[in-house]
Amino acid sequence: MLRLEHMGIAVKQLSVSVPLFEQLLNTPCYKTEEVASEGVNTAFFRTGESKVELLESTREDGPIGKFIAKKGEGIHHLAFEVEDIEAEMKRLSGLGFELLNAVPKNGADNKLVCFLHPKSTNGVLIELCQEKK
Ligand code: ZN
């Protein structure tokens, strides 16, 4: 069973959305971090067992820039925590799920991550994440 680690939400501007989500969730943003390789700035909120991750694009041709141009702001991905990301990638690709990266890559919040193509997951972009040891 995989635990929902966080939900990723694409936003146009963190400067607008961080105060909005602080009001909505009634909790302060506890961390912001740039992931330069992905072209995003992230902001995190604790929401019980899971977190909310806001994603702002730092370049138009990055994944979040493209997503917002196509679909607008909104839910971008669901991230599930795994103990051993390589084993889980192997398990899921063996079941026919399409992985977007063949090897784990560095994500925000000290994580190794891998994304699954939405066309193999009923239209939902799924992130697997493992705490870096
Ligand atoms: Zn994420």
| Average pLDDT taken over every residue of the chain | 96
Contact 109, 38 (CB under 8 A): no
Could you tell me the pTM of the whole model? 0.93
Residue 1 pLDDT greater than 90, yes or no: no
- What tens digit of pLDDT does each residue of 84-123 get? 999 999 999 999 999 999 999 999 889 999 999 999 999 9
Instruction: Decide if pLDDT at 37 tops 90.
Output: no
pLDDT of residue 124: 96
64: exposed, middle or buried (C-beta count within 10 Å: 0-12, 13-18, 19+)? buried
The SS3 assignment for 62 reads coil
Cα(61) to ligand 1 centroid in Å equals 18
Parallel, antiparallel or unpaired: strands 3-11 and 74-81: antiparallel
> Could you tell me the end-to-end alpha-carbon distance of the chain, in angstroms, rounded to an integer?
21
Rounded distance from Cα 9 to ligand 1 centre (Å): 9
| Confidence grade of residue 60 (pLDDT, cut at 50, 70, 90) | confident
Question: For residue 6, how far is its CA from the centre of ligand 1 (angstroms)?
Answer: 6
| CA angle centred on 96, ends 91 and 97, rounded to 5° | 80
The rounded Å distance from CA 78 to ligand 1 centre is: 7
Residue 80 Cα to ligand 1 midpoint, Å, equals: 9
Instruction: Specify the pLDDT at position 133.
Output: 85
More confident: 30 or 60 = 30
Q: If you measure from the C-alpha of residue 103 to the centroid of ligand 1, how many angstroms do you get, rounded to a whole number?
A: 16
